[in-house]
Structures are given as C-alpha cells and as structure tokens.
Amino acid sequence: MIKGIIPMTYCFFNRNNTIDIKLMSDQISLIKQLGSNGIACLGLATEVNKLEFSEKKKIIELVSDITNNSIPVVVTISGKNINEYKKLIGVAQFNNANWIVLQPLLNKKTTDKDCYDFFDKIINFVDKKTLVGIQNAKEYIGVGLESHQILRLYKKFSNFLKSQNLFKFPSLECKNITLSLNKEFLEKNKILNSGLEINLKRTNPNSNIVRQASCIAPRFVQKIYTSFYSKDVYEFSFKLIQEQFPFEYNRITLGSKNDPLGFSLPTLYWTNTSLLKRSALKILNEFSNILLDKELGRLSINNNILNDKDYKLTLGYHQLGGTRMGLDFKNSVVDQNLLVHGFKNLYVNGSSVFRTGGFAYPTFTIVQLATRLGDYLTRA
C-alpha cells in the first residue's frame, strides 16, 4: 500500500536546457536518505509537458536506478499521442513503478467527455498489478472528470485507486477538507479566489445544530435521528479562506510614534473592498445550493456576511506585498531575483514580495523563494 508523504521531484536543467543529471541524482538520493514514504516524478507542477519522450524515459530510469526498489515509485504519464502514452507506460512498468498517474491527452478541442473516453481506453494498457490514478486538475489543465465519472472508472478497473476507498464518507480521522474553485467559475462570476475549508465532527441528538435544524426542516431532522444508531451523522463547519484584492490604499508606512529604542513604529493601513464580501456571498450561496440539490444538508451563513454592515474578517491575517516583486521600481521594491531596486547587495525574501495573495497559506511559496534565492546567490 502506498501511503504517507511522497515528494514530487523537480526537474533541474543545465544552462543549455539539458537535464542536469547530477542535480537530479542528488535530489533523488536525498529523498531516499531522508526516509520518504515514496518518490514521484514527472508531475503536473514540474516540466513534464515540456520534456521529450527520451528525457522522460531518462528521468524514470534514473529514479528507478537510485531508489532500487527501496521505496515506492510514482510516475506521471503524458504524451503527444496515445502511442507515446503506451510506450511511456511500458518504460514505467519495466522500471518497477508502483503507481502510474495518467494525465489527459490534450489538444485544442479536448472536452470533458474526450478526457473520460481517453482514460477509459488507456488504463487497459496498465498492468493490473500496478496501481493507476488520474491527474484530475481541471483548474490547471482546462478539462477534467466529474465525481460520477471517476466513480465509474473506480468500479470498472480493479487497480484504479485500489489502495484506498475515496468514495466512502470521510472517517473521523479526516477532520479537515479544503475545496477550491475552478477557473471557469471565478472568471464567469468575476470574484476573488477562495478556499472552502470543511471541518467535521460526529454530532449527537442533543447538539445545538440539531435543535436549530429541527425548526427549519423537521422531516430532515427525523431522518437524522434514525441515523444516529448507525453513527453516520456529522456536524460541519465551514471556513472561507479568501484571496485579497491588491488595493493600492493598503500599505505600511513609518508612523509618528517610536519604540523604546527610538525607532519609528510601522503603521498599517488596510481595508477590504466590496469585492471581498460579494465573492464570499457568491461562493457560499453556490455551495449551499449544491448541498440542497444533493439533499446533503443546509448551510447557515453568518450574519456579518448577510447584513449591510462591514464585512469582518476573522482568524489570521497575512499582510503581503509590502515589498512587491517587479521589473519597474515605480510599482515594485525588488526585482525578479529579490534584489532591492538600486542596490547591489540587498535582497528581501518573504510573503512581502508577493504581488497578490491567493487563498492558500504562503509558507511553502516563501520556502521555495528562499531556495531559489540561495541557488541564485551561489551562482551569481
């Protein structure tokens, strides 16, 4: 069974755009030495779609040679045509890949149905002893499968996500789920990107949420009571993590007050925009309609979102963009290498260099920027 944390390898290149075999080997060896639960290569977030077949083959062989069956290997498969997919699947299986992840075959006219038909056909070429999954990232790729299509593949192919049942209701061990919005929905409604974090816990007949629901939907609550004995009733809470629009007024300046050492204290000017509240309402209403259509429950929205008062944010804040990255000193502080404009040896790293802040937590991006800066300084 494949489980735990499985890092995806980056693809390193020499200055002449050929694969840097030494850096790749060092990376694979480090992942193995650190006791990773496995290793994955050629993923969507890497340069998999930019590589030639021979380069993909080389990376698969390199991962296989260095790991030497000591940890599970996951290989992502993509190609220009179905024959290239078949050949690459053969390479992965010859090199003892434990799990093959298939990307859809893309062209300008690819539809969601084409995507399903392709997966339905290509999975047949994967050995039944090898786990197979799909790269279902519609927000990045542009096409993808709906849940009922994924379920159909799961039922048809014995090795499709065989190691875990993804279609059971989340167990108590799975307490947090975060949903993201697809690009089409965001662009159509002209709203900010957001993540909807779902927190769940098993509830009981005397909980406050059940009492409230009994006033609104007594028949639904009656069904809930009959389900308590099978322990299948859950209580959900939702947290909306929102992107903030890069409003010019929001800024940090030196204030008139000093700290005990005599230095000026910073002053933060920050306000939200109507777009933030409108985005929240649109997303929550859409999700509420989905719950009602599927007869899964009802969503109660906080009054501070529904009424005309200021839309108040809760939980943490990430002040980003105080030293924005850019090519022009007129609208930025650091350049693409995090060097402060007008200086030769002053670099800044952190979430302050972000040009805008998405809904995802910024930590991993900051770490990657630090790694990138360190690499740049060692080569400069």
pLDDT in the model for residue 342: 95
pLDDT in the model for residue 169: 35
Query: Which tens digits make up the pLDDT trace of 54-80?
Result: 999 999 999 999 999 999 999 999 888
- How does residue 346 score in pLDDT terms, banded at 50, 70 and 90? very high
Q: How far apart are CA 104 and CA 118, in angstroms?
A: 7
pLDDT in the model for residue 366: 92
pLDDT in the model for residue 223: 60
pLDDT in the model for residue 149: 83
Query: Which tens digits make up the pLDDT trace of 280-289?
Result: 888 888 888 8
Residues 114-121: what's their mean pLDDT? 90
Architecture of the 21-156 domain: Alpha-Beta Barrel (3.20)
Concatenate the DSSP letters of all residues of 40-102 into one string.
EES-TTTTGGGS-HHHHHHHHHHHHHHHTTSS-EEEEE--SSHHHHHHHHHHHHHTT-SEEEE
- How does residue 43 score in pLDDT terms, banded at 50, 70 and 90? confident
**Which among 220, 217, 193 is positioned nearest to 360, based on CA atoms?**
193
Mean pLDDT score of the chain: 81
Per-domain boundaries in the chain: 21-156, 176-306, 318-380
pLDDT in the model for residue 311: 63
- How does residue 302 score in pLDDT terms, banded at 50, 70 and 90? confident
